[in-house]
């Protein structure tokens, strides 16, 4: 009975519930949960849409900054490098004009001196004065030609007129040379003056700040791309590309030494010291002490050397790009030869196919043989260079020689012939001190190539054993021959300089001019062997042959493409555009340092004041040089005339008075004895009165002798003076008569040349008269030079220092210009490295960056759209289920009794029956526990997915936080003013700078350029990242919470649907 009571009670309860559930109810809780879940998932989708847009904008910004980097590289190549090349060529051409100007100055002194002496030689009067001296010369003129001083003075204007004509012609040539020098030099000096402002302290500081900022921005982009993209799947390709670098000797295995070499070449500390040995021990499974290629794949993944493949290959690609840039920008033949030699040294590390291709071009006469020989010389000179970037331990010069010798043996023999020729060596701008060493080295390469060649090539018609002996002796022989050739060349050059100097300054007047104007040192006297070697570098700076330049351009294009290809491989492997230690700031600093050094060398002459001072000094020289030379020639001629008359008068006066003194002495002697005898008697008488007879006699004799001698002396002096005065007149009269007599005598002797007879006779006569030894012509020239030097102190103020000043200027330029050109070459090398590095890195950066960010953005948005599409039906089903459980859409109803279907006869009927039974099972199992827990587990999975999505969003928010924090450190990426200021700094440094399709010329072009090229990366993405981070984090958390509440609500709805179905079944039973 109790059971019946309970069942009755439950039945009545079901009836009551059925009555209450007979009407539909609105599930507001379910609706709220579903709408909230959909809303917050939609907000998550919107937030992630902002994130995807921000990622796409980062991709656009990477392309914008790539345009900045490649634009700087392009401007450096097209502007700075080209201008530097032009300045180098101009300075080298100016050096030629400096040397020409020095030679012209020497020719001025030589031609004026020669013309002066020639004019003097045409006038016998002046020739006698110059050859015999003023005293004898004027006597000869008076006695032989009957001419006096006035006749000689009348010849001076005639000589000066002839000299002035020559002087004006040669000075016009000097003026043309100096004008051409200034014309050639001025553009280069003006360009250096522009560089003084262009590379000023403010601009340099701005460039350093900008380069540092560019480094930070590029590293931030690399960091983000590495986090988003991760590592690549091209490990096999990277191993194939790097294996030749490790396997340096091409043995098929890598040894400890090769690992250590790689660590040294590529600055990988993990591969230095004892680490290579430990790696070999760890991965050498075969036990042979070396690593094979299969073992190598495990070695490069060792945690102690992370990213070794990309680091090594990227450094190789970077160096290849630098060499490609140097080859492409090379214009002078020495630059092309050096670049080709460096390229060969580099590619020998991993690609002998290209070495053989280059060997074929060098030996097949497609380029001049001079260039081929120069390449081998550069290979020799850089062999022991510690700063050379060589990525192989092999003898690269030998490898190239073997390749050329194998293909074109005659080219190698021609090359060694040129290398051993000192004239060719100097003409190429090489130092003679290096010739013997390089000749020996090239001969060694050739001998080794002959010994190891696979073909039976022999240039020696001897037996095999004799050929080997000859090949062994060839290097030493080449050294000796080159050394002897260098000695002979130096001797010939020294003799040529000495002979030239003797020829130029052979005349007396030219030597006088050299002494008075330049202190006896000609402009070329300071040219030592070392300075000549420096000057000869101008030959190396000549433009390369067109076929050489064509070869260089092709080589540059090939190397550039290959470098970019390797950079792409590295990026695909590491998702980074550069190594961690790579930076642009150090490269820009190196370039600025070299350029600043060059500017400091040339600054004295490159400012507007310096250029004006240089031109004024040249003008002042051209104005005063003619006056100085004319003045010295006039002084020389005037000195001959003015010195002759007073010196002759003095000589005659001295001779006449000597004769008078001698006559007076003779008269004194004649009268002294009678006077003594006459004085002796009177003196004895006077003394006898005072002293006595004995004493008086002895004293009287002594006094008479003393008084007689004194009277005799007085008499001779008085008579000598008077007689000398008389003799002067007699001598003048006698000379006039002698001149007439000699003139009559010479007329009667026509067979004998008058000048010769007169010169010999009068020279001997006058030598006896003046009691002077006969002097040779050289001694008389030296005497005249000494006389002129003694006069210098008295008339030094009459000659300016213009000649000495212009010679000092030319010497300074001759020493400065080669050094400046070498410094500028170093600066060009740094510019090429910088531009090539920028172009190589930012090219791959601009290609790969947008691809990665756009791909990530696309996939990111696709995933979130798929998630939203996935979660939306789930929420819709939950809403439908809530409404259905509350009576909507018919609500839960009792399961109808289904009649047993007839047995199927066909296949279609069997499938139809299967589906109907499955559907019936699914509809009838709703109220079972299996269905309930299955749905609960499924919904838990959905909630778990939502929670995981929340975690992923949190992690991605951390990535965005990294980007935002990086933006806070790099102001140029978020502040338009700072960005435009950086571009202004670049515009001050570069006249024009292309950024994408925009070319910046002025400040007006800079305005808005940062926004137009999407350079304000942080400004573009910071706001979106901040909003999306907040939106996605909060919305995903709330969506997870509401999804969990939907799970709880679904359980309630399920129970409600079950009881509603039961209530409806009870209601139908009551009705029945």
State how far the alpha carbon of 86 is from the alpha carbons of 22, 423, 594, 828, 883, in Å: 100, 27, 17, 11, 86
In a 10 Å sphere around its CB, with 0-12 CB exposed, 13-18 middle and 19+ buried, how is residue 254 labelled?
buried
Q: Within its chain, how far is the Cα of 129 from the centroid? A: 63
Per DSSP, what are the bridge partners of residue 543? 332
Give the whole-angstrom CA distance, residue 1049 versus residue 512.
Answer: 122
Question: DSSP labels for 46-69?
Answer: HHHHHHHHHHHHHHHHHHHHHHHH
d(CA 971, CA 986): 17
- Better pLDDT: 469 or 159: 469
**Is residue 575 left, alpha or beta, with left meaning phi > 0 and alpha meaning psi from -120 to 50?**
left
Half-sphere exposure of 886 (CA within 13 A, CB side): 18
Using one digit for the tens of pLDDT, what is the confidence trace for 877-901?
Answer: 888 878 887 878 777 777 666 677 7
Q: Over 50: is that where the pLDDT of 909 sits?
A: yes
pLDDT at 155 (0 to 100): 54
pLDDT at position 646 is: 46
**Residue 704's closest CA among 723, 680, 721, 681?**
680
Q: Can you tell me the mean pLDDT for 243-264?
A: 87
pTM of the model: 0.71
- Choose from 54-58, 399-403, 983-987 the range with maximum mean pLDDT: 399-403
The more confident residue out of 149 and 542 is 542
Instruction: Please state, in angstroms and rounded to a whole number, the distance separating the CA atoms of residues 276 and 255.
Output: 9
Q: Would you give the DSSP letter of residue 779?
A: H
DSSP secondary-structure letter at 1072? -
Q: Name which residue leads in pLDDT, 916 or 441.
A: 441
* DSSP notation for 517-534: HHTT--TTTT--HHHHHH
User: What's the CA gap between 419 and 371, in Å, rounded?
Assistant: 11
pLDDT tens digit sequence for 296-353:
888 888 888 888 888 888 888 888 888 888 888 888 888 888 888 888 888 876 778 8
Written as six digits, the tokens of 320 are: 């290849």
Angle at 665 between CA 663 and CA 666, to 5 degrees: 65
Sorting pLDDT into bands at 50, 70 and 90, what band is 757?
A: very low
Predicted confidence (pLDDT) at residue 556 exceeds the cutoff of 50: yes
Which uninterrupted H or E stretch holds 999?
strand 998-1000
The DSSP line for 4-50 is HHHHHHHHHHHHHHHHHTTS----HHHHHHHHHHHHHHHHHHHHHHH
Q: How many residues does the chain have?
A: 1072
Name the nearest CA neighbour of 853 among 215, 51, 65, 44: 51
Task: State the burial class of residue 688 (Cβ atoms within 10 Å of its Cβ: 0-12, 13-18, 19+).
Answer: middle
In sequence order, the 6+-apart residues with CB closer than 8 A to the CB of 820 are: 91, 598, 601, 602
Q: CA–CA separation, 594 vs 831, rounded Å? A: 10
In tens, the pLDDT along 377-423 reads 998 988 877 666 677 888 889 999 999 998 898 888 899 899 999 98
CB 872, CB 1039: distance < 8 Å? no
Stronger pLDDT, 2 or 267, i.e. the higher one: 267
Cα–Cα distances (Å) from 27 to 390, 729, 926, 933, in that order, read 80, 162, 20, 22
CB atoms within 10 A of CB 581: 9
Say whether 928 sits in a helix, a strand or coil: coil
User: Average pLDDT, stretch 842-855?
Assistant: 86
1064 HSE (CA, 13 A, CB side): 20
* Torsion of the alpha carbons at 196, 199, 205 and 208, rounded to the nearest 10: -170
Task: Name the band, by pLDDT with cuts 50, 70 and 90, for residue 479.
Answer: very high
Between 106 and 922, residue with greater pLDDT: 106
Q: What pLDDT is attached to residue 202? A: 78
3-state secondary structure of 994: strand
pLDDT score, position 404: 92
Question: Which tokens is 884 given?
Answer: 């259905």
pLDDT at 373 over 90: yes
Mean per-residue pLDDT, 204-214: 82
Helix (H) or strand (E) holding 1065: helix 1017-1071
* Greatest mean pLDDT among 17-21, 443-447, 454-458, 833-837: 443-447
Q: What is the pLDDT of residues 110-168, one digit of tens each?
A: 888 887 777 767 655 555 555 555 545 545 445 444 444 455 555 567 667 777 777 78
Comparing 80-84, 481-485, 530-534, 881-885, the range with the smallest average pLDDT is 530-534
Q: Quote the pLDDT of residue 536.
A: 57
pLDDT tens-digit map of 589-639: 888 888 889 988 888 888 889 999 999 998 888 888 888 888 887 777 665
pLDDT band at 644 (very low <50, low <70, confident <90, very high): very low
Tokens standing for residue 498: 């000495």
Please, what is the average pLDDT of the chain?
76
pLDDT tens-digit map of 481-523 = 999 999 999 888 888 888 888 888 888 888 888 888 888 888 8
Residue 332's SS3 state is strand
What are the φ/ψ torsions at residue 992 (nearest 5 degrees)?
-140, 145
Strand partners, 998: 995
Indicate whether 187 pLDDT > 60: yes
pLDDT band at 436 (very low <50, low <70, confident <90, very high): very high
Question: Sign of the C-alpha dihedral, residues 803, 806, 808, 810?
Answer: negative
pLDDT tens digits, 662-686: 666 666 666 556 655 655 566 566 5
Contact predicate 716/661, CB 8 Å: yes
1056 near 885, Cβ under 8 Å?
yes
3-state SS record for 216-254: HHHHHHHHHHHHHHCCCCCHHHHHHHHHHHHCCCCCCCE
Q: Identify the residue with better confidence: 389 or 529.
A: 389
pLDDT band at residue 951, thresholds of 50, 70 and 90? low
Q: Using one digit for the tens of pLDDT, what is the confidence trace for 787-796? A: 555 444 444 4
Residue 649 has pLDDT above 60, yes or no: no
Q: What percent of the chain has pLDDT over 70?
A: 70
Helix (H) or strand (E) holding 1000: strand 998-1000
Q: Which of the residue ranges 438-442, 449-453, 764-768 would you say has the lowest mean pLDDT?
A: 764-768
d(CA 174, CA 111): 12
Structural tokens at position 588: 């820009």
Residue 438: its pLDDT value, please?
92
Distance CA 922, CA 888 (A): 20
At 986-1002, the pLDDT tens digits run 887 887 888 877 788 77
Residue 914: C-alpha distances to residues 907, 909, 936 (Å): 11, 9, 27
Quick one: pLDDT band at residue 758, thresholds 50, 70, 90?
Answer: very low
More confidently predicted of 722 and 833: 833
How far is Cα 573 from Cα 307, in angstroms, rounded to an integer?
9
Q: What is the mean pLDDT of residues 713-721?
A: 57
């Amino acid at each position: 009975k109790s059971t019946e009571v309970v069942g009755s009670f439950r039945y009545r309860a079901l009836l009551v519930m059925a009555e209450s559930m007979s009407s539909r109810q609105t599930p507001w809780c379910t609706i709220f949960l579903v709408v909230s879940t959909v809303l917050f998932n939609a907000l998550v989708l919107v937030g992630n849409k902002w994130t995807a847009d921000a990622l796409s904008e980062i991709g656009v910004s990477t392309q914008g900054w790539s345009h900045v980097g490649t634009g700087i590289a392009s401007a450096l190549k097209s502007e700075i490098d080209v201008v530097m090349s032009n300045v180098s060529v101009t300075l080298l051409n100016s050096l030629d004009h400096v040397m020409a100007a020095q030679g012209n100055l020497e020719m001025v002194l030589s031609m004026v001196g020669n013309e002066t002496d020639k004019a003097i030689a045409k006038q016998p009067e002046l020739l006698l004065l110059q050859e015999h001296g003023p005293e004898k010369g004027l006597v000869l003129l008076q006695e032989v030609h009957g001419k006096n001083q006035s006749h000689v003075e009348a010849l001076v204007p005639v000589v000066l007129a002839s000299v002035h004509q020559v002087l004006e012609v040669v000075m016009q040539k000097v003026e043309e040379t100096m004008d051409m020098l200034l014309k050639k030099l001025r553009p280069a000096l003006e360009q250096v003056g522009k560089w003084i402002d262009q590379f000023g302290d403010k601009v340099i500081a701005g460039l350093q700040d900008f380069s540092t900022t560019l480094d930070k921005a590029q590293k931030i982009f690399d960091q983000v791309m590495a986090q988003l993209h991760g590592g690549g799947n091209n490990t096999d390709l990277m191993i194939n590309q790097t294996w030749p670098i490790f396997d340096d000797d091409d043995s098929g295995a890598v040894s400890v030494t090769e690992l250590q070499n790689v660590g040294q070449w590529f600055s990988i500390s993990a591969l230095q010291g004892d680490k290579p040995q430990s790696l070999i021990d760890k991965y050498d499974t075969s036990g042979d002490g070396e690593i094979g290629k299969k073992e190598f794949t495990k070695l490069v993944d060792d945690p102690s050397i992370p990213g070794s493949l990309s680091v090594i290959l990227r450094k190789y690609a970077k160096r290849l790009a630098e060499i490609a840039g140097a080859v492409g920008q090379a214009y002078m033949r020495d630059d092309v030869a050096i670049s080709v030699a460096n390229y060969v040294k580099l590619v020998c590390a991993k690609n002998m196919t290209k070495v053989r291709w280059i060997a074929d071009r060098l030996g097949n006469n497609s380029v001049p043989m001079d260039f081929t020989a120069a390449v081998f010389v550069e290979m020799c000179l850089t062999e022991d260079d510690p700063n050379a970037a060589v990525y192989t331990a092999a003898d690269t010069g030998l490898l190239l020689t073997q390749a050329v010798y194998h293909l074109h043996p005659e080219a190698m023999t021609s090359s060694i012939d040129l290398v051993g020729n000192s004239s060719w060596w100097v003409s190429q701008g090489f130092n003679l001190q290096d010739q013997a060493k390089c000749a020996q080295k090239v001969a060694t390469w050739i001998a080794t190539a002959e010994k190891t060649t696979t073909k039976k090539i022999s240039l020696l018609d001897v037996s095999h054993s004799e050929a080997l002996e000859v090949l062994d002796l060839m290097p030493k022989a080449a050294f000796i021959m080159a050394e002897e050739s260098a000695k002979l060349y130096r001797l010939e050059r020294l003799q040529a300089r000495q002979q030239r100097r003797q020829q130029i300054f052979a005349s007396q007047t030219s030597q006088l001019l050299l002494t008075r104007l330049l202190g006896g040192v000609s402009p070329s006297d300071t040219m030592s062997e070392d300075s000549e070697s420096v000057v000869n570098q101008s030959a190396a700076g000549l433009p390369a042959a067109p076929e050489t330049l064509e070869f260089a351009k092709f080589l540059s294009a090939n190397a550039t493409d290959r470098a970019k290809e390797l950079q792409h491989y590295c990026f695909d492997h590491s998702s980074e555009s550069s190594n961690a230690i790579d930076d642009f700031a150090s490269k820009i600093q190196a370039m600025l340092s070299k350029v600043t050094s060059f500017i400091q060398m040339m600054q004295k002459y490159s400012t507007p004041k310096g250029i004006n001072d240089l031109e004024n000094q040249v003008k002042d020289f051209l104005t005063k040089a003619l006056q100085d030379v004319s003045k010295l020639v006039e002084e020389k001629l005037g000195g001959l005339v003015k010195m002759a008359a007073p010196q002759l008068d003095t000589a005659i006066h001295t001779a006449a008075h000597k004769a008078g003194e001698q006559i007076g002495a003779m008269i004194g002697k004649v009268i002294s004895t009678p006077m003594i005898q006459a004085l002796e008697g009177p003196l004895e008488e006077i003394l006898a009165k005072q002293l006595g007879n004995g004493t008086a006699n002895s004293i009287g004799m002594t006094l008479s002798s003393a008084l007689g001698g004194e009277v005799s002396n007085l008499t001779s002096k008085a008579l000598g003076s008077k007689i000398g005065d008389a003799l002067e007149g007699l001598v003048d009269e006698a000379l006039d008569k002698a001149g007439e007599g000699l003139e009559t005598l010479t007329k009667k002797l026509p067979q004998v040349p008058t000048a010769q007879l007169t010169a010999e006779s009068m020279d001997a006569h006058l030598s006896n008269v003046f009691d002077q030894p006969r002097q040779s012509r050289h001694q008389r020239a030296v005497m005249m030079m000494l006389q002129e030097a003694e006069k210098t102190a008295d008339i030094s103020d009459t000659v300016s220092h213009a000649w000495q000043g212009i010679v000092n200027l030319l010497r300074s330029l001759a020493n400065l210009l080669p050094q400046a050109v070498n410094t500028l070459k170093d600066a060009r090398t740094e510019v090429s490295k910088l531009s090539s590095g920028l172009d190589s890195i930012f090219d791959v950066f601009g290609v790969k960056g947008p691809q990665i960010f756009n791909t990530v953005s696309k996939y990111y948005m696709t995933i979130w759209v798929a998630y939203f599409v996935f979660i939306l039906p789930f929420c819709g089903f939950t809403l439908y289920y809530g409404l259905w459980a509350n009576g909507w859409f018919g609500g839960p109803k009792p399961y109808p009794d289904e009649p047993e279907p007839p047995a199927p006869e066909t296949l279609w009927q069997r499938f139809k029956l299967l589906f109907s039974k499955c559907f019936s099972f699914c509809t009838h199992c709703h109220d079972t526990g299996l269905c309930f827990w299955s749905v609960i587990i499924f919904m838990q999975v959905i909630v778990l997915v939502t929670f995981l999505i929340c975690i992923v969003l949190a992690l991605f928010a951390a990535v965005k936080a990294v980007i935002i924090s990086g933006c806070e450190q790099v102001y140029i990426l978020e502040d338009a003013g700072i960005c435009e200021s950086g571009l202004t700094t670049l515009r001050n440094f570069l006249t024009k700078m292309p950024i994408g399709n925009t070319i910046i010329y002025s400040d007006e072009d800079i305005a808005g350029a940062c926004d137009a090229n999407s350079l304000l990366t942080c400004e573009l993405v910071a706001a979106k990242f901040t909003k999306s981070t907040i939106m996605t984090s909060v919305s995903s958390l709330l969506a997870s919470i509401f999804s969990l509440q939907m799970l709880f609500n679904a359980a309630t709805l399920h129970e409600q649907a079950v009881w509603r179905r039961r209530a409806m079944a009870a209601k139908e039973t009551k009705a029945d």
